[in-house]
Amino acid sequence: MSSKKKINKKDIGKLLSRWSQQFTVLAPSMESGVATMAEWDGKDTSFLDWYRNTVIPPKANFFPPMEEMFSFQKDREGYHIELPLVNEHKQLIFGIRPCDAKALAILDMTFEEAYEDPYYLAKRNSAVLVGLGCTNPYDSCFCTSLGISPAESTDVDLMLTDIGDQFLIEEVTDKGKELIAKTSGLKEATETDEARAKEAKETSHNKVTRKINTEGIEDKLLACFDDEDYWEKIAAKCISCGICTFLCPTCYCFDINDELVKQQGARFRSWDSCAFPLYTKMPMENPRLEKWRRVRQRVCHKFEFYPMTFNVIACTGCGRCIRLCPVNWDITRVLESLPVKV
């Protein structure tokens, strides 16, 4: 059974300062004008007041938008490859929402189980995830339809739940227990604290009002896969901008390019999107030239193909693709509109 501690909200800065001695602490930040998980500046805890979720998902801290894979030099003897230096400072992500923690668990299936990606795993395996229960979900959130609760602690190492002037701290994994054992200044939680946390979790869960029915969703998508008229209608207003994929916490497509100046260069990988007409066109041809095929690919990958491979839907209901789409394309409406084939 997990142990419970608590901390006053006004002492969160002190807590992060202690953890900064062991980790590179990342916390919600608006310094760039867009909410991201960025390195904590050592003093600001105002995010506790404004933070609902980041725009750029925490996947970017493990799978960056652009990442150097290696550098190389060429001489008469051929190419000499040098791997990038590994950051010795482990990451501690403070305030990750349950939907985004679940998204990382889903990404693990691709980057660890399908094939071992050394760049992703080097950062992922050493990181500590400190979850923060979501008390004010957006109306575009639908996490509960995917079996996730706004205050769920399944995929984090520590979970903080808002109980008024304090946070209840739940030790979830051995990594979390080890961190708490080394952390001073925490108090033991009481039964009253735990009761408040339970009530807060139930309240948060009930605030998620957008729902989708995922029962039989794979079969429904399979049945209408070849219905070109339906997918043409669904894709009509999509502008193929890729925002929904770049800001999705579980999308992982990337492109690889070499940059060469004279006799030295580097190989980079960068985020790519199946929404783009140019997707995969450099090494070959895009297998989905028509827009409706690309839209179908995105929907089916999340709700049909990924479950076929890993037995989990590759969507956490975070709602980013709904909130941030410039043309108000809504995945939940698409799933509700799937034609029933008799």
- Measured distance CA(90)–CA(24) in Å, rounded: 6
User: What is the band of 254 on the pLDDT scale with cuts at 50, 70, 90?
Assistant: very high
Per-residue model confidence as pLDDT tens digits over 133-169: 999 999 999 999 999 999 988 999 999 999 999 999 9
Per-residue model confidence as pLDDT tens digits over 174-195: 999 999 999 999 999 999 999 9
pLDDT of residue 278: 78
Per-residue model confidence as pLDDT tens digits over 327-337: 999 999 999 99
> For residue 1, is pLDDT > 60?
no
Q: Which residues pair with 150 in a beta bridge?
A: none
Q: What angle do CA 73, 74, 80 make, to 5 degrees?
A: 55
Range 54-58 average pLDDT = 97
- Measured distance CA(185)–CA(97) in Å, rounded: 24
Residues 32 and 38 sit within 8 Å (Cβ to Cβ)? yes
Q: How many CB atoms lie within 10 A of CB 315?
A: 28
Per-residue model confidence as pLDDT tens digits over 262-307: 888 999 999 999 888 877 765 666 678 799 999 999 999 999 999 9
Domain residue ranges in the chain: 4-207, 217-336
pLDDT of residue 2: 47
Q: In terms of C-beta density within 10 A (0-12 exposed, 13-18 middle, 19 or more buried), how is residue 303 classed?
A: buried
Of the listed ranges 30-39, 93-102, 134-143, 295-304, the one predicted with least confidence: 30-39
pLDDT of residue 196: 96
User: What is the band of 31 on the pLDDT scale with cuts at 50, 70, 90?
Assistant: confident
Q: What percent of the chain has pLDDT over 90?
A: 83
Q: What is the DSSP letter of 114?
A: I
Residues 125 and 71 sit within 8 Å (Cβ to Cβ)? no
pLDDT of residue 284: 64
- Measured distance CA(157)–CA(80) in Å, rounded: 40
| pTM for the structure as a whole | 0.93
Strands 4-8 and 78-82, by their bridges, are unpaired
